[in-house]
Copies of this chain bind each other. A is one copy, B any other.
Amino acid sequence: MPIDLNADVGESYGAYAYGDDPGVLPAVSSANIACGFHAGDPGVMRATVQLAHRHGVAIGAHPGFQDLSGFGRREMYLSPAEVENLVAYQVGALAGIAATEGARLRHVKPHGALYNMAARDAALAGAIARAVRSVDPALVLFGLSGSELIAAGERAGLRVASEAFPDRGYRADASLTPRSAVDAVITSPERVAARAVTMAAGTVTTADGQVVAVKADTLCIHGDTPGAAALARAVREALTAAGIEVRPPDGR
């Protein structure tokens, strides 16, 4: 079974540089590109599409709340209709930019607070799924493994990709360890790479040593941490060494 590696990229803005896109992109198979609301601007989006395209990385939209000063990480309470329009707008905007490079979108992954809220709120999740299907029913919807967003995508008839996080701790119910806990974030490239390999096989080891099932079609590589590029390469090499092909999820 192949697996996808994805990274959030294109999060610079104007004069502001963010992350290490040139370092991370060559190691992943899917690029989630910010769409100008929580990060990114039309020029950054275009340069990121170019870079991803050049490396043969699948291009996806990474829509977020309209909260540049909070980087889309702060919860905002919008109606499902507002979220649906917000997502359709941003996915369309990136599609417009991608067209200037002769590229097409392959997937959509919501960002930050929108991702987290849609993981647990079926109405928001449904709004996102509707927006994605309207803009292009061939797009793959990425969401937290086991979340409402994955369920909403399936109900909407979309191809979905369940996402897991090799650098995050997991609990016995396959949920993420809260960031406030010890071992919430794993920084050793070797450990992260080893976890990626087991996740590709469908399991994860919890902090207290249990092995639990986790569905992982795509693994997230964080691109805004020190050493992100090295981590991404370590994960990719470990997967390849284990005979696991790294490639984007099948679309339609």
Assess the B71–A15 pair: CB atoms within 8 A. Answer: yes
Contacts of A91 in B (CB 8 A): 96
For the complex formed by this chain, how many copies does it contain in all? 4
Contacts of A68 in B (CB 8 A): 13-14, 68
Q: How many residues does chain A have at the interface if contact means C-beta atoms less than 8 Å apart?
A: 47
Contacts of A16 in B (CB 8 A): 13, 16-18
Assess the B100–A85 pair: CB atoms within 8 A. Answer: yes
Assess the A75–B74 pair: CB atoms within 8 A. Answer: no
Cβ of A166 within 8 Å of any chain B Cβ, yes or no, is no
Among A39-47, A140-148, A149-157, A202-210, the one that faces the other chain is A39-47
Interface string of A83-97 (1 = CB under 8 A from B): 011101111111111
Assess the B74–A77 pair: CB atoms within 8 A. Answer: yes
Cβ of A190 within 8 Å of any chain B Cβ, yes or no, is no
Contacts of A95 in B (CB 8 A): 92, 95-96
Contacts of A240 in B (CB 8 A): none
Contacts of A100 in B (CB 8 A): 84-85, 88, 130-131, 134-135
Chain A residues with CB under 8 Å of chain B are 13-18, 36, 39, 41-43, 45-46, 66-71, 73-78, 81-82, 84-86, 88-97, 99-100, 130-131, 134-136
The 7 closest A-B pairs by CB, nearest first: A92-B96, A42-B85, A16-B16, A93-B93, A15-B71, A42-B89, A100-B134
